[in-house]
Homo-oligomer: A and B are copies of this chain.
Amino acid sequence: MITRGKLSEQSGCNAETIRYYERIGLLPDPPRSESGYRMYDQEHVSRLRFIQRARELGFSAQRVRDLLNLSDRPKQHTRAEVKDLTEAHIQEISEKIRDLQKLKKRLDAISSHCDGAMESAKDCPILISLFAEH
């Protein structure tokens, strides 16, 4: 059994974040010592690692919750459900990439019209294009 500080240290997860995960129901309430200190076991460590890996992969807290539910009640769920969640997430990421690429293209185009010579910002083609009607 370890305290929150130790769990934070072992996992590299901010101690406040651990409390936050408990609050939003990603980590179950741990048992407490007589004085009220949280006492974590190996189960908590594994679960926190899972949460960290999923978050690193960009899953939202809600998606992580869904994945954990599938994992907690595997008999009522299928691999297809897990795969569906993952595919939906991949889809979202692909869309984000596409949107950002479009954005970058537009910005590159705007930026290329400005040579950045040391003249007044008033005449800057970038600002003009942002202020322009249409």
Residues of A participating in the B interface, judged by any CB pair closer than 8 Å = 46, 49-50, 53-54, 57-58, 67, 70-71, 74-75, 77-84, 86-87, 89-90, 93-94, 96-97, 100-101, 103-104, 106-108, 110-111, 114-124, 126-127, 130-131, 133
- This chain's copy number in the assembly: 2
Taking A78-B120, A80-B117, A121-B79 as contacts, is the C-beta distance between A107 and B93 under 8 angstroms? yes
Cα–Cα distance between A70 and B103 once the two chains are bound (Å): 22
Contact partner of A104 among B53, B77, B90, B123, CB < 8 A?
Answer: B90
Interface of A is mostly: helix
- CB–CB A79/B123 < 8 A: yes
Contact partner of A71 among B79, B86, B108, B121, CB < 8 A?
Answer: B121
